[in-house]
Each structure stands twice: as structure tokens, then as C-alpha cells.
Amino acid sequence: MKAWLSRLSADLKNPPASPAELARFELDHALPGTAYTLDPVPALGEGYCIRRRSDSSVIISGGPTGLLYGAYALILRMLSGEGIPDVLESAPRYPLRMINCWDNADGSVERGYSGRSLFFEGGRLSYDPFRMRELGRLLASVGLNVLCINNVNVHDPAQQLLENMLPEAAALADLFRPFGVRLMFSVDFSQPMRHGVSSADPLDPAVRAWWKAAAERVYQAIPDLAGFLVKADSEGRPGPFTYGRNHADGANMLAEAVRPFGGVIVWRCFVYNCRQDWRDTKTDRPKAAWEHYAFLDGKFAENVILQVKHGPFDFQVREPVSPLLLGMKQTNLAMELQLAQEYTGHQIDLYTMIPMWRELFDEIPENNIMSLAAVSNLGRDENYTGHPLAAVNLYTYGLLAWDPAMEAESAVSRWVRLTYAFDPDQERTLTALLLSSRRTYEKYTAPLGIGWMITPHDHYGPNPSGYEYDLWGTYHKANRDAIGIDRTAAGTGFLLQYPESLRKKYEDPETCPDLLLLFYHRLPYSFRMKDGRTLVQRIYDDHFEGKKETEAMAEILEALPFPDPDREIILSRMELQKRNAREWCDIINTFFRRLSGVDDLHGRVIYD
């Protein structure tokens, strides 16, 4: 077994018949000395209750999948040395804890850094059943229960998942079912037009009829399919706008088709003008999601979930929470995270995400969202996540999706304990390193919330003006005096989308958190930060620190007794990260010194 399950038996040669059977297999192999009873309580659903009897045997009560989640909870707590209290009751906070794979039918993975697709190759489903079971165990062990296997950008022939690939897709669904994992498919909004329907207009009866028939066919093959995931009118994808319809029209039409079968429509809100003219200062991309969706609050069917990226841009290293997640009280919302390290180091640089997620959960009122989704960081690499330490993001995502109150440190240290047989000092060292890795990455990359100073398209490595005159709406407009976009009421007005308390906090540079200053404000290089440093000196300092911290991390990793092959992968990628941190540090500092003409106060080298 791989990743944090490395101490479980690898012997799961055949698919178990049910979650309960799987629970027994895992318990028998992982805790051979422990007497246990599985006590089915259907009403508990995914929840479970573990009780220790006086004879130290245990009884696990739970619904059909709750038994499995309880078994894993018991196993992982015992293996990690944490142990269990006499009574441990738990149930997931969110009903849908989703993984979105951006896997293409040709076997490539969009923004994938862990090898090729686990599910597809050569235009068709193609997978190793053993690895599917391994993946099922990984997901089940942290309570993840929905797996969307194909890219939201549905490239031909992935549409065939609803067509002639359906029998094979049903076989894959069968394979995951005992793991409590339901499949989901990304669908192409224009799919009826592949079948002689003359439009994809959601109000056209022929279109509605096509989707109804399609849903019926699909659910006959996969009765527990979670539903469809849709990226519409976004970055060139087809959608309702073509027909003068809004996104409620589009989503509700699909929702009607899957409702008889208990399916949901997960509708992504990543809609913005990706052909913006850089000269246009009226359009401000972070405003886009709100403008497209907020007025539709309350208009969506009950089985529609709007899936909103956590920040208003696109998975930058530091963004405020998307205002859409704070509004839309009458709508089902899912927050979308990204495990794939698209902008955060490509699973070469270390970037443990849970500190960032904690900030998000602390900002979003408890009941504003009802599900979670995360873009997958999985691939065909032997270790599934490319970088062995990137697995901590999949693991902690599962933990947070189950219980968003989970603390970052305990989640990460649990993962460390399960994954590596380290002594307590080493455990603490690695836990601290992982927890600090996001801030380090942030320090040496784009400063103070400005974002986007990354190599266009590829999204690894620095390019301070790479997007400056491009069509993506992501500008910093740095000149010799100042940098940033004013997003207050005096500027683009983006801040007006927030509740008043947040708006007030952010609109004044004196109360806005330093790390978000350049997200909201245009400021001169001479601006005084709260600690008295100038903006440009703060930028220099962060970058020198980020580089230095990376070098320190390299020494720490070198000293830790990672087993092979992890050690070789971790150390060789750290060499690349050190190079990357140096490039970022030097280029960003040079960029700001060329513009500002200001030397570093401490005389460190900034190149001409």
C-alpha cells in the first residue's frame, strides 16, 4: 500500500463485495489482535460510533459506509499511536466530499504533476484494477466519497462516458462502490449536438428531452452516480450564454434530468472574460463570479450545487475568500480547492495547503457552504502524488472535508506519523516544516497578494510581467512609482461585493492584512507597512527570507531518515525547489529595484 496507508496489507487482490466486507478485511489485517464487532445502524449513514468494551474489544456501529469509515478511523488511530477514547462518535460535516480529476481521455492530465491519468489512455478508459482498489482505500480512509474521473474541460472523446464508454464506466463504478466512492462525470454542455439535436439551448424541448434520456440511460448503468459536473461558458466551453439563457436556466435543465435518480448537478462558477483587453481598466476579473451568479441566488433547483473556487481569481498562493462564498444564502454552494499544485510549485516545491484552508474556513460562516470539492493531485506515478510529501494535501483535505474544525497541526502530524516511522523529534520537525512550507513558497513568489507573476501557461517559475499585456485580466500595472489595482469603491469596486465588516477591514490599507495589501490596493513603493518598513523593503525582505528558508528546509530534509524511494525523490525535487526559490527571489527583487530604484537596506545582492 502507498502513502499514509503503507502499513496496511497490500493483499486486497479482489474487489470486496461491500464496505462492511472491506472494513473486516482491513481490521483483520491491520489489527490482528483486536476483537471487534460491526454493528450496522443504517440511520447513521456515513457516521459511526466506536465503543471500547471493558474486555478491550471494540464495537463499531455505523451506516453502510459508516462502518467502513469507523474501521479506518480505528485502524489509523491505532497505527498512528494516537489510540481512541472509550467512545468515538463521528459523522461528516459535508455530504459530498469530492475529488475532481482533470484527466483527459487521451491519458494526459491537465495541470497534472504525478504522471499520466490513472483512468484513461488512448481515448478510452484504461486502468489497473489493483491501483483502483488502492486508490479506493486511500479515498475511503479519509472519507472522500465522490470521484469525478474526467476533466471539466471535456475534450473529445470524453463525452463517450455517457455514450459507448458507459458500460466500462459502470464497471469502474462497481469497482469503487465498496469503498464508499461514487463516480461523477464532467459533461459537455453542448453534448446533445453530437447527436443531431440542433442546439444546446436549455429551454429547447429537444435539448431537455435529450438530457432526460441520457440521464435515464446513464443511471440505469450506474444507479448511484453522484451526478454531473459542468464547466459552462468558461474559457471557451459551450454554455447557456450562446442561447441568451442564464446559468440557472442551464443548471436547472440538467438538474431536472438527473433528479429522478437522486443525482446532483455541480455547476462551476469559474466564469470570466478570458479575452480581456489589457487597456480596459473597467473590467476587473475578480468581480466576474459575483456578477454572473449573485443575482441568481434562490433561482437554482434543489439538486444544483454551485462550485465556487475559494478565491476570486484562480488558486493563487494568497487570495481573499471569494465574496460569492459569503453571499448566495439561498443557494447550495460547494467550495473548490486545488490539490494539484498548478500555481503552487507543481509538486516540485513543497506546499502544504492546510494552513491556507484553515484561513478560509475561519472566514466562511459555518452554513454558507454545503459541500467541498478539490482538484485532484493524483496520477499514475508509483506514489500517486508525484512528490511523496504532496500526499499530505490529499490526506488533510479528506480530514477537513469530514470535519472542517480540524486543526492544521494535528492533521499534518497524524499524516506524518502514519506515513513515516520517525521518532517524535523527527515527526515534530517534519510537521513544522510542512506547516511552514506554504508561507515560504509565498515569500519567494508573488508578493503580498499581487499574484500572477508566474510563467504564463506553464505556471511554474517567475515572470513578473508575463501576464501584464495578456488577455487574462490579471494585471499589476507596476510603474516606477507604484504597483497594484485599486479594488476599493474608488477603484474597480470589487470590495463592494463583500459584507460590510470585511469590506471595511480590507478597504483601508491601514487595517488590511499586509499579506493581502496588493490584492486590494495600488500602493507606492514607499508605502509604510504596519511595522514601519516600506513596501519595497518588505518585498525584498520576504524574498530573501523565502530563499533562505528553502535552503534551511533542504538541510532538514537531508537529515531526516526518509526511506527510499521517497528520500531520492524528496531530495532531488528539493534541489529543483532551491533553484526555483533563487530564481524567484532574484528576479522579483531585481524587478522591483529596476522599477523603484530603491536599494536593499541591508545591502544584500540585488542584481541589475
How many other β-carbons are positioned within 10 Å of the β-carbon of residue 330?
10
- Cβ atoms of residues 137 and 143 within 8 Å: no
- When computed from its CA atoms, the radius of gyration of the chain, rounded to whole angstroms, is 25
For residues 363 and 470, which CB has a smaller minimum distance to a copy of itself in the complex? 470
Query: Is 545 considered catalytic here?
Result: no
- Cβ atoms of residues 300 and 339 within 8 Å: no
- Selection from 602, 598, 474, 592 nearest residue 548 by Cα: 602
Query: Minimum CB separation from a copy of itself for residue 280, in Å?
Result: 10
Cα–Cα distance for residue pair 567/608, rounded to 1 Å: 37
Query: Minimum CB separation from a copy of itself for residue 2, in Å?
Result: 36
Query: Minimum CB separation from a copy of itself for residue 597, in Å?
Result: 5
Cα–Cα distance for residue pair 10/130, rounded to 1 Å: 10
Query: Minimum CB separation from a copy of itself for residue 486, in Å?
Result: 12
How many other β-carbons are positioned within 10 Å of the β-carbon of residue 249?
16
Distance of alpha carbon 557 from its chain centroid, rounded? Answer: 25
For residues 23 and 482, which CB has a smaller minimum distance to a copy of itself in the complex? 482
List the beta bridge partners of residue 462. 454
For residues 13 and 282, which CB has a smaller minimum distance to a copy of itself in the complex? 282
Query: Is 342 considered catalytic here?
Result: yes
For residues 51 and 594, which CB has a smaller minimum distance to a copy of itself in the complex? 594
Q: What are phi and psi of 482, to 5 degrees?
A: -155, 170
For residues 278 and 422, which CB has a smaller minimum distance to a copy of itself in the complex? 278
From 235, 382, 508, 599, the catalytic residue:
235
For residues 144 and 482, which CB has a smaller minimum distance to a copy of itself in the complex? 482
Query: Minimum CB separation from a copy of itself for residue 590, in Å?
Result: 8
From 134, 233, 284, 342, the catalytic residue:
342
- Selection from 340, 418, 386 nearest residue 99 by Cα: 340
- Selection from 555, 552, 540 nearest residue 586 by Cα: 540
Whether the ω angle into residue 565 lies within 30 degrees of 0, i.e. cis, is: yes
For residues 299 and 594, which CB has a smaller minimum distance to a copy of itself in the complex? 594
66: its cell numbers: 459508516
Sequence-distant contacts of 214-221: CB under 8 A, at least 24 apart: 214/162, 214/257, 215/257, 215/258, 215/260, 215/261, 215/263, 216/260, 216/261, 217/162, 217/166, 218/162, 218/166, 218/185, 219/258, 219/260, 219/261, 219/263, 221/166, 221/167, 221/169, 221/170
For residues 28 and 481, which CB has a smaller minimum distance to a copy of itself in the complex? 481
Cα–Cα distance for residue pair 315/476, rounded to 1 Å: 17
For residues 329 and 477, which CB has a smaller minimum distance to a copy of itself in the complex? 477
- Selection from 491, 518, 495 nearest residue 505 by Cα: 495
- Selection from 98, 237, 214 nearest residue 154 by Cα: 237
From 314, 319, 336, 566, the catalytic residue:
314
Query: Minimum CB separation from a copy of itself for residue 173, in Å?
Result: 40
Query: Minimum CB separation from a copy of itself for residue 607, in Å?
Result: 5
Which residues of this protein are in contact with a copy of itself, per CB under 8 A? 278-279, 281, 462-466, 469, 477-481, 583, 586-587, 590, 593-597, 607-608
Cα–Cα distance for residue pair 539/528, rounded to 1 Å: 12
- Selection from 356, 283, 349 nearest residue 316 by Cα: 356
- Cβ atoms of residues 120 and 126 within 8 Å: yes
Query: Is 314 considered catalytic here?
Result: yes
For residues 295 and 469, which CB has a smaller minimum distance to a copy of itself in the complex? 469
Query: Minimum CB separation from a copy of itself for residue 547, in Å?
Result: 14
204: its cell numbers: 429547447
Cα–Cα distance for residue pair 190/185, rounded to 1 Å: 15
Pairing of strands 48-52, 87-90: antiparallel
Query: Minimum CB separation from a copy of itself for residue 442, in Å?
Result: 20
The residues, any chain, with a CB within 8 Å of residue 316's CB and separated by 6 or more, are 343, 446, 449, 451, 452
Cα–Cα distance for residue pair 400/372, rounded to 1 Å: 9
Query: Minimum CB separation from a copy of itself for residue 396, in Å?
Result: 34
Q: What are the residue numbers of the active site?
A: 235, 314, 342
